[in-house]
Amino acid sequence: MPLADSKRTRDWIFVLEPQTRKLRCLSAIENHKLFSINFLFFLFSIRFQGYVYNHSFNMHRKIGKWVLAFLYCDLILAFSSLPGSTLSVITKNVSDKILHFFAYSILGWLFCQASMKLLYGIALAALFGMIDENYQRLIPGRQCDFYDWLADCLGATAGAILSVGMLRLSQAKKKMNHFSDYKNIKLKRNK
């Protein structure tokens, strides 16, 4: 169907052009292109983040974790920027509360890994969820919903708790390996 067809409903996104400092409307096709560019940038930055994360210095690891968390926030905002009609086609038979829960459980995990504190991870993800829900008011066909934000908070809590649990399990495993190495050295000396 041609874009000039007057019967076709259009969803518009407004962007601020830096050169003219004026608002310009993006059509649905331009919005999809923008989303694709955002998604490719996210994939590229995951690759870059892996380089930073595997670097030997702790500061670089910490920065890499924060970079990944904020890039995931960018991905969530990219999905939030999709108009309601487009999003309903993508997520046909899946409840939006389940999608919110899983998306924000990953975000809670990432924020908890970056901050190394459970409550900071939950609070940052919940705050971002509130900002995201209010941002959706500006998108055609989308709305701000308290229950979506509640699903965001529950998902962030689950992800952060899982992150802390995995971290404690990993530390306990390292401690047990260290203890068994010490025990083996002691047994070798006694022989």
SS (H, E, C) the chain: CCCCCCCCCCCCEEEECCCCCCEEEECHHHHHHHHHHHHHHHHHHHHHHHHHHCCCCHHHHHHHHHHHHHHHHHHHHHHHCCCHHHHHHHCCCCCHHHHHHHHHHHHHHHHHHHHCCHHHHHHHHHHHHHHHHHHHHHCCCCCCCHHHHHHHHHHHHHHHHHHHHHHHHHHHHHHHHHHHHHHHHHHHHHC
Burial degree of 96 (CB within 10 A; 0-12, 13-18, 19+): middle
Q: How many domains does the chain have?
A: 1
Percent of the chain with pLDDT strictly greater than 70: 58
pTM of the model: 0.61
Q: Is residue 37 part of a domain?
A: yes
Q: What's the pLDDT at 180?
A: 63
Q: What's the pLDDT at 109?
A: 92
Q: Is residue 8 part of a domain?
A: no
Q: Is residue 33 part of a domain?
A: yes
Q: Is residue 127 part of a domain?
A: yes
Reported for 181-189, long-range contacts at CB under 8 A and 24+ positions apart, including other chains, are: none
Structure tokens at 127: 């705050």
Q: What's the pLDDT at 88?
A: 66
Q: Is residue 3 part of a domain?
A: no
What residue numbers bound the domain in which 163 lies? 13-190
What are 49-70's pLDDT values in tens digits?
554 444 445 666 778 888 889 8
Q: What's the pLDDT at 99?
A: 86
Q: What's the pLDDT at 188?
A: 59
Q: What's the pLDDT at 8?
A: 45
Q: What's the pLDDT at 57?
A: 52
Q: Is residue 7 part of a domain?
A: no
Q: In the chain, which stretches have pLDDT less than 70?
A: 1-60, 85, 87-91, 178-191
Q: Is residue 1 part of a domain?
A: no
Q: What's the pLDDT at 21?
A: 53
Q: Is residue 110 part of a domain?
A: yes
Q: What's the pLDDT at 41?
A: 60
